[in-house]
Amino acid sequence: AQTVTQSQPEMSVQEAETVTLSCTYDTSESDYYLFWYKQPPSRQMILVIRQEAYKQQNATENRFSVNFQKAAKSFSLKISDSQLGDAAMYFCAYFGNEKLTFGTGTRLTIIP
């Protein structure tokens, strides 16, 4: 079974600075997708960014980018120019074999 690990329960960053959230996963599949979701206090899950495993190029969405290392099974999220609205729980997720599995989450605090 696939597992997703986020080793940082909490992270904090100064406003306007850059922060990187870590995620590793374990799978025996070669075709899968990876996601980062944001969950603000409202608890609505919001897709931040996604990466197809067959693509070597790292995905980028405005201030959000990933460092996808397939061989190492690593999928970190970099948030540049952090803003107060970025404060939330961030979940790394793996989609494969028709199942979406989440990591344990990282609570990100933005320091004004």
Residues at the site binding another protein, with contacts judged by CB under 8 A: 33, 35, 42-45, 47, 50, 52, 91, 95, 98-105, 107
Strand partners, 21: 77
* Residue 33 CA from chain centroid, whole number: 12
Distance, CA of 10 to CA of 1 (rounded, Å): 26
In the complex, minimum distance from the CB of residue 106 to another protein, in angstroms, rounded to a whole number:
10
In the complex, minimum distance from the CB of residue 4 to another protein, in angstroms, rounded to a whole number:
9
In the complex, minimum distance from the CB of residue 17 to another protein, in angstroms, rounded to a whole number:
25
Q: What is the DSSP string of 47-110?
A: EEEEEETT--SPPEETTEEEEEETTTTEEEEEE-S--GGG-EEEEEEEEETTEEEE---EEEEE
Nearer to another protein, 42 or 56 (CB): 42
Nearer to another protein, 16 or 47 (CB): 47
Distance, CA of 47 to CA of 70 (rounded, Å): 21
Nearer to another protein, 15 or 39 (CB): 39
In the complex, minimum distance from the CB of residue 12 to another protein, in angstroms, rounded to a whole number:
16
Nearer to another protein, 67 or 101 (CB): 101
